[in-house]
């Protein structure tokens, strides 16, 4: 699933768009779900230094670049199409 997701990301953002991260305990209970169904984590970056959107998620000053939403939607649509074909 990770390879399939990376392909969908590369379709939308090119080869520099899909970056593998180190393993993290972002939601440790997800491992139980992934024992039953195929899946992987994807993180959509939304930081935009030019707009001053630089604060981390759990900061009271967090905000995100809404233009990332369309990019994320396109990635998910392509991922679904790849998975179903």
β-bridge partners, 62: none
**Ordered per-residue pLDDT tens for the chain, 85 residues:** 989 999 999 999 998 888 887 776 666 688 888 889 988 888 888 999 999 999 998 899 999 999 999 999 999 999 999 999 9
Eight-class DSSP state of 66: T
At 58, list the tokens.
């759990």
Domains of the chain: residue spans and CATH: 2-84 (1.10.150)
* CA-atom Rg of the chain in angstroms: 15
Altogether, the residues listed in the chain come to a count of 85
β-bridge partners, 53: 48
Taking the alpha carbons at both ends of the chain, their separation in whole angstroms is 14
């Amino acid at each position: 699933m990770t390879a399939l997701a990376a392909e969908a990301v590369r379709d939308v953002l090119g080869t520099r768009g899909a970056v593998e991260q180190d393993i993290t305990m972002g939601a440790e209970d997800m491992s139980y779900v992934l024992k039953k169904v195929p899946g992987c984590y994807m993180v959509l970056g939304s930081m935009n230094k030019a707009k001053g959107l630089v604060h981390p998620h759990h900061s009271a000053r967090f905000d995100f670049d809404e233009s990332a939403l369309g990019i994320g939607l396109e990635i998910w649509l392509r991922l679904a199409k790849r998975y179903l074909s």
